[in-house]
């Protein structure tokens, strides 16, 4: 079946220009424009597999309704293509879980579904095509072990993100399991202060809202904690939060008994890490006038790539080539806005220097297909050529 969809996938997502750039030491030169592509970018192994399975499922069950529980990955173009291929999205307003049954095929996305959703689909007798990424399953395995051993899973992640919701649900598999989701260093510091000095339960619960498991009692449930994270977070921030929590638990309980109170393991996926490392290397190695980061506005790993870049150079997180409106105007998502909020888009004018050599860095999130990256290069080239300073259209 894999071979049967290979041509369709290549036609939908392949880019000749991206292949050409890879073959040219990740550089593309057109007149005064040089594009420097990060050495790791775009579709990761988990996304590749999930999209492949979705196409295979559609082909394998031509006479049955095929559903996705929601977005398969956070890229609107990929989701639109799956819709066009006849796959229905259970998150769409007119769809419902109630009528699902044995004749229906349901695809689970790369970031997984909650324990409750999985049980419901099994109960309803649906045929499941599970594309949950192995790196996510690895996090779950560790979180379930925390739950079994009575450790609260402290998850560095975004509480509304599908993957974090699914991971948190794994923490409740055993009766002593609990979870707490922390978004960033500020929230981690609040937890550390509570661990060291205690505090008001009500204030703690108000601060974290639905980011804690039902019945959470910080005095009881922060005595034994285990760190985990959404696989697509900023690696440096996840590591720092882990160390902050370790230091707080050491202060509270001492080093001799630390292992009884604190556990940690590395759960950033290698694909996320490689994309972050590659963009840092690009920023270190090249003098860049600006950086373009391509990916869905609700894509966590894309937002984090943009955060890394924005600390060093002017950075525009764009969803697709249409965001490059003209040589004067770009539409983009402001860097630093939480990826789970309904995203606002800003317009910036005068974004492209009009004369002289132009060095543009480019990367793409793990859910961005190569054809979108290629279209961005093409449009950028047209704008630079059109600005009248020696660029040549491709
Ligand atoms: S970003 Fe990582 S965890 Fe998520 S699908 Fe890709 S490889 Fe898997």
Q: Which is catalytic among the residues 40, 71, 163, 237?
A: 163
**Whole-number pLDDT of residue 248:** 98
pLDDT (tens digit, 0 to 9) for every residue of the chain, 394 residues total? 788 788 888 888 999 999 999 999 999 999 999 999 999 999 999 999 999 999 999 999 999 999 999 999 888 999 999 999 999 999 999 999 999 999 999 999 999 999 999 999 999 999 999 999 999 999 999 999 999 999 999 999 999 999 999 999 999 999 999 999 999 999 999 999 999 999 999 999 999 999 999 999 999 999 999 999 999 998 889 999 999 999 999 999 999 999 999 999 877 788 999 999 999 999 999 999 999 999 999 898 999 999 999 999 999 999 999 999 999 999 999 998 765 555 689 999 999 998 899 999 999 999 999 999 999 999 999 999 875 433 333 3
Distance 269 CA to ligand 1 centre (A): 6
| Nearest-angstrom CA–CA distance, 112 and 110 | 6
Placement of tokens 């703690």 in the chain: 204
| Nearest-angstrom CA–CA distance, 265 and 142 | 8
Ligand 1: which of 45, 108, 110, 363 to mutate, judged by most atoms within 8 Å of the beta carbon?
110
- 126 contacts: CB under 8 Å, gap ≥ 6: 100, 101, 102, 104, 105, 106
Contact 293, 363 (CB under 8 A): yes
Which of 102, 28, 51, 66 has the alpha carbon at shortest distance from 286? Answer: 28
Residue having the nearest C-alpha atom to atom 3 of ligand 1: 135
Element (H, E) at 4: helix 2-13
Angle at 113 between CA 112 and CA 119, to 5 degrees: 130
φ and ψ at residue 260, rounded to 5 degrees = -75, -15
Distance 134 CA to ligand 1 centre (A): 8
Contact 28, 34 (CB under 8 A): yes
Which of 52, 66, 62, 60 has the alpha carbon at shortest distance from 6? Answer: 52
| Nearest-angstrom CA–CA distance, 228 and 247 | 16
- Write down the pTM of the prediction: 0.90
Distance 91 CA to ligand 1 centre (A): 22
**Whole-number pLDDT of residue 266:** 74
**Whole-number pLDDT of residue 44:** 94
Q: 3 an active-site residue?
A: no
| Nearest-angstrom CA–CA distance, 212 and 202 | 13
């Amino acid at each position: 079946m894999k071979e049967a969809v290979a041509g369709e996938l290549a036609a939908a997502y392949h880019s000749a220009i991206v292949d050409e750039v890879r073959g040219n030491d990740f550089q593309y030169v057109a007149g005064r424009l040089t594009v420097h592509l990060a050495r790791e970018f775009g579709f990761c192994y988990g996304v590749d597999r999930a999209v492949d399975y979705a196409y295979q499922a559609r082909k394998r069950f031509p006479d049955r309704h095929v559903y996705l529980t929601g977005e398969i990955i956070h890229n609107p173009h990929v989701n639109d293509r799956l819709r066009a291929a006849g796959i229905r999205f259970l998150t769409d307003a007119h769809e419902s879980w109630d009528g699902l049954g044995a004749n229906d095929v349901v695809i689970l996305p790369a970031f997984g579904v909650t324990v409750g959703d999985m049980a419901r689909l099994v109960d309803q007798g649906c045929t499941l095509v599970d594309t949950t990424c192995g790196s996510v399953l690895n996090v779950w395995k560790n979180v379930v072990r925390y739950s079994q051993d009575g450790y609260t899973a402290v998850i560095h992640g975004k509480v509304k993100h599908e993957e974090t919701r699914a991971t948190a649900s794994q923490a409740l598999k055993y009766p002593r399991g609990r979870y707490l989701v922390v978004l960033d260093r500020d929230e981690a510091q609040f937890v550390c202060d509570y661990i060291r000095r205690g505090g008001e339960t009500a204030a703690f619960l108000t601060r974290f809202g639905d980011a804690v498991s039902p019945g959470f009692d910080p005095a009881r449930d922060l005595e034994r904690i285990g760190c985990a994270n959404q696989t697509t977070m900023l690696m440096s921030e996840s590591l720092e939060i882990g160390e902050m929590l370790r230091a707080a638990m050491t202060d509270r309980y001492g080093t001799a008994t630390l292992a009884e109170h604190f556990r940690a393991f590395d759960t950033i996926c290698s694909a996320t890490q490689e994309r972050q490392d590659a963009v840092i290397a690009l920023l270190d190695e090249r003098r860049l006038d600006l950086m373009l980061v391509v990916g869905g506005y609700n894509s966590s790993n894309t937002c984090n790539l943009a955060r890394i870049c924005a600390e060093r150079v002017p950075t525009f997180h764009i969803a697709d080539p249409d965001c490059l409106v003209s040589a004067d105007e770009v539409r983009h998502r402001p860097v630093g806005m939480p990826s789970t909020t309904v995203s606002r888009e800003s317009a910036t004018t005068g974004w492209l220097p009009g004369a002289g050599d132009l060095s543009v860095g480019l990367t793409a999130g793990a859910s961005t297909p190569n054809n979108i990256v290629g279209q961005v290069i093409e449009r950028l080239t047209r704008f630079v050529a059109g600005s009248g300073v020696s660029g040549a259209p491709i």
